[in-house]
Structure 1
Amino acid sequence: MTERPAALDRALGGVTAAPTEPPPAPQPGWRAGDRTLRYGTVAAVAVAAALITGHAWLLAAAAAPLALLALALPTGGRPQHVVPTADVEPRRCFEGERITAVITLAHDGTAGRLDPGVAPGPGVVLDDLDVAAGRIRLTFTAERWGRWTLGTVDIDLYDTGGAARRTVRVDLGEVAVFPVPTRTGVTPIPVRLPQRLGEHTSAQRGEGVEVTGVHPYVRGDRQRRIHWPATTRRGELQLHQFAAERAADTVVLLDVLADVRDPATGASSLDETFRAAAGLVRAYLRTHDRIGVVSVGGTTRWLQPGSGQSYFYRIVESVLDVRKDLGYRTAGLRRLPPPALPESALVYVFTPLTDQRILDVLDQVRSRANPLMVVEIPTGDPAVDPGDSTAELALRLWRADREAMRFALTERGIAVVAHQPGETLDLALAPLLRTRIHGGRR
């Protein structure tokens, strides 16, 4: 595999998910508050001026802040044991939904006001902050899918006079933000279906509801299925023949080798990949099919095919950590585990076609004779500054590389469809409904 020019890397504007460093730890114990520092500064300046100039009347200017500081001293004992409790709801949500965190402080002694400082995590934004007696309520909005640290809150707890304060740090923990699935209702199926009851009509004879023809009566057949017009014409009993109904095995393979942002729209290829894949997963689960997931990137994550609406959340949670895999690259890709790709399972590959290593993965799938199709996530052309000959040459090489990858896939008999961000996935998958998808050869 050839290395990409550095100019093209700058033009592509790759999106990485570097973890956000937490703020430095607060100082332990009680320390002077803002009011004490202000009054003390004024008094120190007045005393210094009196000593330098020799004017004793300047000492009177220090008496007022010192008197106010004395009045600010707490009358009761300061809290020595402070126990914060954080309650976050919900811990799992979709993009754009609200997350509420309520922090309650339990302490001994008497305390004054609370002054929180919030450091939100990278995938959420703080919308509202409400401070009441011994309680802080924060409202966040989940902006991007992933497993994010919600953030930390440094609470300055003042004494009753506001002369001293101590800081308590509260870690709000992690939240799982699911991608909003793309609207999808089309579920293409392969030629060969496993011997499992489902909703797809197969070519085999069975106990379905779709009539495929008639056949002569055999002892043991149900007489209520007699086809009277054919019986009258042929002079012997003819019965309806039905097609068997089977369920399909489907695997969604996600290319997370790179995350590229479209310069024109700002859309992330990884975000669009997950939203489209989530919509396809939901569509197949609604038809009671089994569906699994494989993500190929810095590490290979996979989940065996399963069924049921609750399985959608297991699939999404299994790949929420892929953003962390973008921080490093591997020299080669491991072979896909056999349980991840059941025999004859239909494999959808969601890829932006920006890394040639995905071709090695497709070769592994074809070597197992699985029906295969590629859903391309368009990324748009990288932005190139006018007159930058090096970047323009890199852009031409990048376009030629993508065309070569599409040609290689077509020559191997792999169907390639393009999904446009913001549109329903049904528009891309509709041509596949004309016929069933064939598998490769071993």
Structure 2
Amino acid sequence: MTQPAPARAAAAVRRALDGRLDVTTGPPPPPPPGRRAGERALRLGTLAVVALSAALLTGRPWVLALAAVPLVLLALALPGGPGTGAVTAEAEVEPRRCFEGEQVQVRIAVTCDGEAGRLDPGVVLGHGVRLDRLAVGPHHVELVLTPRRWGRWTLGTVDVDVYDRGGLARRTVRAELGEVAVFPVPGHTRLTPVPVRLPQRIGEHTSAQRGEGVEVTGVHPYVRGERQRRIHWPATTRRGALQVHRFAAERTADTVVLLDVLADVVDPVTGASTLDETFRAAAGLVRAYLRTHDRVGVVSVGGATRWLRPGGGQGYFYRVVESVLAVRKDFAHRAAALDSLPPPALPEGALVYVVTPLTDQRILEVLHQVRKRADPMVVIEIPAGDPVVETGDSEGELALRLWRADRDAMRFALVERGIAVVAHRPGESLDLALAPLLRARIRGGSR
């Protein structure tokens, strides 16, 4: 039975936007225990068996001499080698925290009670990790790995075959490389828009209140006790009375970056991931506001709600990023039920940036929660890319029109509620999206 056109159109959109990856493969099976024959021993054993078989078939005793040498070598290899004592492998990974594209150095030291010969490593890498270099020494193995995307990644395992001096016997020992935390590369941005109302804390943003800042907002009559060096002589001459400069107070801002991790949509044309771009844009915002000595917090919605209270300092950047790295673990991304936002995560009057691809209707519930708190809010849209429609596919074209109309309706609903909506294109500076917000300070809603 053929589905109606609207149903088929909606199904086509869902298939086009299904970009979430869920990798649930476990670790490789454990290596064989104990000591076992190596490749050279297998070749010698094969040669001895062939010689014995030829002697039996031909009835010529002198053919048995061909099996003597392999059998003697195999007998000499039995008492010694790496299987007679303990064999251990210790892995050192440096660093355990890095940014996307940075290299991770791994050194595996192999110790053996008996006499050991060469080492033969077998590397099983985790998801999202690339092997750049492999070097084998007499008692160690060195690797250079590169995590290609942000998240928490399992580096993998290395099974090292330890051979004896003659290469006849071997024993396998496994080294677990553990996990690394890979930070997203922050998007380039230097602009830091601020709301109308700022907290009563000294900072670098000009406030509408009078204070001891450096920006002149006007002049006023001299009051006993004010500094004489602030006298504005041109105004004093015109008015015939002492006039002094009026300065604006400088305040800090509270900023909260809210991340939409309800879905990871992959652009069918460019292959860009909305989850990747969301975190890079958020990291750029966090770093920009921390440079101006503001307090920054983070909230991620989707699955378990993760959040970190606003704080300051350059070292706080790593705490903010680490608090949401668990969203991606070995390419696995899962979004479950939507939880309510915790009140401590959104201080009163904080400027809230919502970084979202606007592909999941549930994000509107989150925006409604923020709006009820009357906090100033900016929605940064990460374009997800339009689904690819084949030429002449009328139902696909209808699905594309419905898809675009739905996104336009979401943007219109947000703008009608007084929420600023800006679009950030991947690969472009975030300053291009934030520049229109500098025309006027961002206002909050009403309770």
Structure 2 distance, partners of 1:357, 1:138, is 44
Q: 2:139 aligns with which of 134, 137, 140?
A: 134
Matching residue of 2:32: 27
Does 1:347 pair with 2:352? Answer: yes
3-state secondary structure, aligned to 2:116? coil
Structure 2 distance, partners of 1:149, 1:175, is 7
Matching residue of 2:325: 320
Structure 2 distance, partners of 1:38, 1:388, is 62
Structure 2 distance, partners of 1:265, 1:259, is 14
Matching residue of 1:144: 149
Matching residue of 1:83: 88
Matching residue of 1:184: 189
Matching residue of 2:404: 399
Asked if structure 2 preserves the Cα contact closer than 8 Å seen for 1:16 and 1:323, the reply is no
Matching residue of 2:208: 203
C-alpha deviation, 1:256, in angstroms: 0.5
In structure 2, list runs of 5 or more residues that go unmatched. Answer: 1-6
1:145-193 superposed Cα distances (whole Å, 9 cap, x missing partner): 1111111111111122222211111111111111111110111111111
Matching residue of 1:226: 231
Structure 2 distance, partners of 1:340, 1:405, is 25
3-state secondary structure, aligned to 1:321? helix
3-state secondary structure, aligned to 1:381? coil
1:298-320 superposed Cα distances (whole Å, 9 cap, x missing partner): 11100111111111111111111
Q: 1:309 aligns with which of 310, 314, 326?
A: 314
In structure 1, list runs of 5 or more residues that go unmatched. Answer: none
Structure 1 distance, partners of 2:11, 2:161, is 47
Matching residue of 1:171: 176
Q: 1:261 aligns with which of 244, 260, 266?
A: 266
Larger CA deviation: 155-164 vs 343-352: 155-164
Does 1:281 pair with 2:286? Answer: yes
Structure 2 distance, partners of 1:6, 1:119, is 38
Matching residue of 1:436: 441
C-alpha deviation, 1:74, in angstroms: 5.8
Larger CA deviation: 71-80 vs 29-38: 71-80
3-state secondary structure, aligned to 2:280? helix
* Large movers: runs of 4+ above 6 Å: none
Structure 2 distance, partners of 1:428, 1:365, is 21
Matches within 5 A, 1:115-130: 115-130=120-135
Asked if structure 2 preserves the Cα contact closer than 8 Å seen for 1:73 and 1:161, the reply is no
C-alpha deviation, 1:144, in angstroms: 0.5
Matching residue of 2:428: 423
3-state secondary structure, aligned to 2:43? helix
Letter in 2 for 1:349: V
TM-score if structure 2 supplies the norm length? 0.92
3-state secondary structure, aligned to 2:328? helix
Letter in 1 for 2:204: E
3-state secondary structure, aligned to 2:348? coil
3-state secondary structure, aligned to 1:409? helix
Q: 1:271 aligns with which of 268, 271, 276?
A: 276
C-alpha deviation, 1:65, in angstroms: 3.7
C-alpha deviation, 1:133, in angstroms: 1.2
Structure 1 distance, partners of 2:438, 2:104, is 40
Root mean square deviation of aligned Cα: 2.3
Change (3 A) 1:60 1:384: farther
Letter in 2 for 1:360: E
Number of residue pairs aligned between Structure 1 and Structure 2:
439
Structure 1 distance, partners of 2:300, 2:332, is 12
